């Protein structure tokens, strides 16, 4: 059987190579003809003044072509600036009970080992399927933390800490049941805030006793999840009720130990600034949504309330999905379809930074505890190559703004809402249910190889150094410059494929000096033919589900990025020049 699948791999590789050769043989004379037209000044008139998908873009002057190549030049011995890997601080997962399964735990270990995640956040720590809370016939509480102990023990053994989301109401304290999700979350404010406070106190105190105060002081306690979405997560509630819940919860946690970290409001999403939107609509004409600033929900009101009531705020959290809808749930509105800029997340983080810096809590950490290209659990873009480039561009161009931007989620072991049985159904996860890594997983893996000092950065790339070893690493990425929006929601694999097949290539030039002579560097590339699980799955005919042999092959091919080793010259210089196809990412890593 092994020889059969080895032969199958060779056939696929040969077919890709032949297709490439045929395409190049056809395109070479065409490109020579186009080049002659450019020289003659005929090209733009033939295509109506637009610019083709080559390695250049048109500027204001038709006679001037802007260079879109990515240039990275750095001195390996030069002065560096601190680089904090905020992108790998926290990652999301579905709900606590899913963490009791072996597949979830195995995928967490993979994500932690290769992508460097330090904390994981999930819903439902007090959900009834965790058997935490019940009452006797007299209404007295009975606590049981055995399931939580099992979950936390296994996470901590992997070196990954909980970013504790205190949610939702346990059944006996929930005024409304089954407000959202397949697993029947009880998203309503507790009926008795005193009993809620007692539960929180017992839980936190139990964690301190089991894991030690020094350990739990390194955790984060976030009060609730998206309380502004009343129908799903805070039914029967209001902003006032949430602020009261935060007050009770924060004061309870600080009674256990003043150094424990607590924050909120964990709201979703960013909305268009109301006044700016009103002004744009005033004349009744169409307006450009890119010109409207977006604002986080409740953040200003939350900080004002906490200050007025002398409440602690160790961190502020919210969820900046770059779409105009906050949750993908049957019966819930999906917004008006506004497509946000590719820079919208970075701009949202800048807005958060300004708000916190000007607030009474300027030292509060900023944690964006959910983030992805969309809040839809069936968005085929999540499985795509474009998703990986989106991850790299957004994070690397947002350095220094916040303390974490938590990708939602690391695994497709996820049971909120799902209406397809495909192994690649557009789930949030970096790894699918069959433990096949997706392109976005590699984006985090490549970024995890960066050092803790920045030597040089430009749009499209970064050079870093490890302060302990002195070794150099760099990442370059091609989010096509003509693509001005964040990845749109796609509803079929074909829609997602069209995005991956679009866009122009870019030249990438790397020049590094003052390295050891003859030092070896690994050059690893993620592109459509290397490390893209979807391409491999489609080449197999999209088996649903794949058999055991096919699953093993897909797992292997999903790791099959292109790798080559290059060396510095005799004077310690490394000089690379290569073409980056659209949506590709390359890692250059010093090995000795």
pLDDT at residue 372 above 50? Answer: yes
287 pLDDT tier (thresholds 50, 70, 90): confident
66 pLDDT tier (thresholds 50, 70, 90): low
What is the average per-residue pLDDT within 482-496? 92
Using CA atoms, how far apart are residues 12 and 556, in angstroms rounded to an integer? 14
Lowest mean pLDDT among 14-23, 111-120, 152-161: 14-23
Using CA atoms, how far apart are residues 96 and 297, in angstroms rounded to an integer? 26
Catalytic residue (choose from 98, 107, 222, 226): 226
The residue among 221, 156, 518 whose CA lies nearest residue 365 is 221
Q: What angle do CA 439, 496, 328 make, to 5 degrees?
A: 95
Confidence (pLDDT) at 484: 92
Encode pLDDT of 306-333 as tens digits. 999 999 999 999 999 988 755 555 555 5
Using CA atoms, how far apart are residues 40 and 31, in angstroms rounded to an integer? 14
* Backbone angles phi and psi of 163, in degrees to 5: -100, 95
Based on the residue annotation, tell me whether 106 is a catalytic residue of this protein.
Answer: no
Using CA atoms, how far apart are residues 165 and 152, in angstroms rounded to an integer? 13
Based on the residue annotation, tell me whether 370 is a catalytic residue of this protein.
Answer: yes
18 pLDDT tier (thresholds 50, 70, 90): very low
* Backbone angles phi and psi of 437, in degrees to 5: -75, 145
Beta strands in 43-160, from DSSP E residues, in sequence order: 56-58, 65-67, 70-75, 81-82, 90-95, 119-123, 133-135, 141-143
Encode pLDDT of 420-429 as tens digits. 789 999 999 9
Q: Please name the residue ranges forming H helices in 270-401.
A: 274-281, 299-308, 344-357, 385-396
Q: What is the pTM of this model?
A: 0.86
* Residue 471 tokens, joined: 């070794």
Encode pLDDT of 196-226 as tens digits. 999 999 999 999 999 999 999 999 999 999 9
- What is the percentage of the chain residues whose pLDDT exceeds 90? 74
Encode pLDDT of 436-468 as tens digits. 999 999 999 999 999 999 999 999 999 999 999
Confidence (pLDDT) at 426: 94
483 pLDDT tier (thresholds 50, 70, 90): very high
Confidence (pLDDT) at 46: 27
Contact 90, 83 (CB under 8 A): no
Q: Which residue would you say has higher pLDDT here, 168 or 361?
A: 361
What is the average per-residue pLDDT within 568-585? 96
What is the average per-residue pLDDT within 462-478? 98
Q: Please name the residue ranges forming H helices in 378-438.
A: 385-396
Instruction: Domain ranges for the chain, please list them.
Output: 1-50, 84-448
Confidence (pLDDT) at 330: 52
List all residues 6 or more positions away from 540 whose beta carbon is below 8 Å from its beta carbon: 546, 550, 553, 554
Question: Partners of 135 in the beta sheet?
Answer: 141
Q: Which CATH architecture has domain 84-448?
A: Alpha-Beta Barrel (3.20)
Encode pLDDT of 89-141 as tens digits. 999 999 999 999 999 999 999 999 999 999 999 999 999 999 999 999 999 99
Catalytic residue (choose from 165, 329, 365, 370): 370
Using CA atoms, how far apart are residues 20 and 410, in angstroms rounded to an integer? 34
């Amino acid at each position: 059987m092994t020889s059969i699948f080895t032969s199958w791999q060779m056939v696929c590789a040969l077919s890709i190579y032949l297709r490439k050769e045929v395409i190049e043989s056809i395109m070479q004379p065409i490109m020579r003809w186009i080049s002659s037209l450019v020289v003659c000044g005929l090209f733009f008139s033939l295509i109506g003044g637009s610019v083709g998908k080559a390695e250049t873009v048109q500027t204001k002057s038709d006679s001037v072509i802007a260079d879109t190549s990515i240039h990275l030049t750095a001195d390996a011995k030069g002065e560096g600036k601190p680089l904090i890997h905020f992108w790998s601080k926290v990652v999301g997962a579905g709900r606590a009970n899913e963490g009791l399964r072996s597949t979830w735990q195995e995928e967490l270990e993979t994500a932690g080992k290769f992508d460097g995640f330090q904390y994981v956040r999930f819903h439902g720590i007090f959900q009834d399927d965790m058997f935490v809370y019940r009452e006797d016939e007299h209404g007295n509480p009975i606590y049981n933390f055995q399931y939580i102990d099992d979950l936390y023990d296994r996470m901590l053994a992997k070196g990954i800490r909980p970013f504790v989301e205190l949610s939702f109401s346990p059944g006996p304290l929930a005024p409304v049941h089954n407000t959202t999700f397949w697993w029947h979350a009880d998203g309503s404010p507790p009926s008795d805030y005193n009993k809620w406070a007692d539960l929180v106190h017992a839980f936190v105190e139990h964690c301190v006793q089991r894991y030690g105060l020094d350990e739990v002081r390194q955790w984060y306690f976030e009060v609730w999840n998206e309380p502004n979405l009343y129908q799903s997560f805070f039914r029967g509630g209001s902003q006032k009720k949430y602020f009261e819940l935060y007050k009770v919860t924060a004061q309870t946690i600080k009674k256990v130990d003043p150094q424990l970290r607590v924050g909120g409001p964990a709201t979703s999403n960013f909305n268009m600034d109301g006044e700016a939107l009103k002004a744009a609509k005033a004349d009744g004409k169409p307006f450009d949504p890119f010109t409207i600033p977006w604002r986080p929900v409740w953040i200003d009101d939350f900080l004002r309330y906490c200050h007025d009531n002398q409440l602690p705020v160790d961190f502020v959290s919210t969820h900046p999905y770059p779409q105009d809808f906050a949750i993908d749930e049957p019966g819930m509105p999906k917004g008006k379809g506004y497509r946000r800029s590719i820079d919208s997340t970075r701009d949202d983080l800048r807005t958060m930074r300004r708000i916190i810096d000007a607030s009474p809590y300027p030292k509060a950490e900023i944690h964006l505890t959910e983030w992805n290209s969309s809040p839809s659990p069936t968005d085929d873009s999540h499985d795509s190559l474009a998703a990986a480039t989106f991850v790299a561009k957004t994070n690397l161009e947002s350095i220094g703004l916040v303390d974490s931007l938590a990708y939602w989620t690391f695994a497709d072991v996820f049971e909120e809402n799902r209406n397809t049985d495909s192994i690649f159904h557009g789930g949030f996860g970096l790894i699918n249910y069959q433990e096949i890594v997706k392109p976005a997983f590699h984006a985090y893996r490549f970024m995890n190889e960066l050092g803790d000092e920045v030597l040089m950065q430009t749009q499209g790339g970064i050079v870093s150094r490890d302060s302990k070893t002195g070794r150099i690493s760099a990442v370059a990425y091609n989010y096509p410059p003509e693509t001005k929006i964040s990845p749109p929601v796609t509803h079929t694999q074909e829609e997602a494929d069209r995005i991956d097949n679009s866009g122009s290539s870019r030249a990438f030039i790397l020049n590094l000096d003052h390295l050891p002579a003859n030092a070896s560097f690994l050059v690893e590339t993620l592109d459509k033919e290397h490390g893209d699980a979807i391409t491999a799955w489609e080449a197999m005919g999209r088996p649903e589900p794949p058999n055991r042999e096919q699953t093993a092959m897909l797992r292997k091919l999903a790791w099959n990025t292109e790798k080559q080793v290059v060396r510095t010259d005799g004077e310690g210089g490394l000089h690379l020049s290569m073409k980056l196809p659209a949506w590709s990412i390359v890692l250059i890593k010093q090995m000795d």
